[in-house]
Amino acid sequence: MPPLTPASFWILTALAARRRHGYDILRETADASAGRVALKVATLYAALERLEAEGLVRPDGEEVVGGRTRRYFALTPEGGERLAAEADAMAAAARVARARLASPRPATGHAMGIA
């Protein structure tokens, strides 16, 4: 199973709690990722089209507000499983990194007086 790209990961995360429309997904991905993911609208729709083709998200209705079409997207069961698996893998990697950081480290060359 290929890893999710950062953009796909944050889009699926944005849809984990509820369905959202395009602008709402942009806002949520930027907020949830603390600004690390700032998608352009065209890039968002390219990613959504790919995720839809992979069966991870699905369109979930449209509404027209002020003459603007808002298409909602929702996570599919497969998308939820995939996001959970990715989150587990990331958590496992983070645990390993924290364990290594917590283990005693040898003194550096500078501290040992080595030029």
Partner 1 sequence: MIPGGDPHGPGPDRLPPAQEARFRRLLRWYPRGWRAHHGEALLGTLLDLAEHEGRTSPSAGEGFAAAVNGLGTRLDRRFAFWSALAALAAGLTAIPMVADGLRGAENLAYPALAVLLAPGLAATAVIGHVRQARIVSPARAMLILALAWAALAVAAVAQALWVVGFDMADAGLPTTGLIAGFWQVFGVAVVLGAVAIAAVIEAMMMRAGVGGRPVRVLTGGVIGAVAAPAIGLSLITPVAVLFVSIALAISARPRREAAAQPPASA
Quote the longest CA-to-CA distance of the chain: 72
* Gap between the terminal Cα atoms of the chain: 48
| Binding residue (CB under 8 A) for partner 1 from 46, 91, 94, 97 | 46
Paired tokens of 29: 């991905």
| Binding residue (CB under 8 A) for partner 1 from 11, 15, 44, 83 | 44
Q: Is 61 left (phi over 0), alpha (psi -120 to 50) or beta?
A: left
Q: Which among 44-52, 82-90, 99-107 is the span making contact with partner 1, rule CB under 8 A?
A: 44-52
17 touches partner 1 (CB under 8 A) = no
Cβ neighbors of 54 (< 8 A, separation 6 or more) are: none
| Binding residue (CB under 8 A) for partner 1 from 41, 89, 92, 93 | 41
Binding-site ranges for partner 1 (CB under 8 A): 1-3, 20-24, 26-31, 35, 38, 40-47, 49-50, 53-54, 62, 65-71
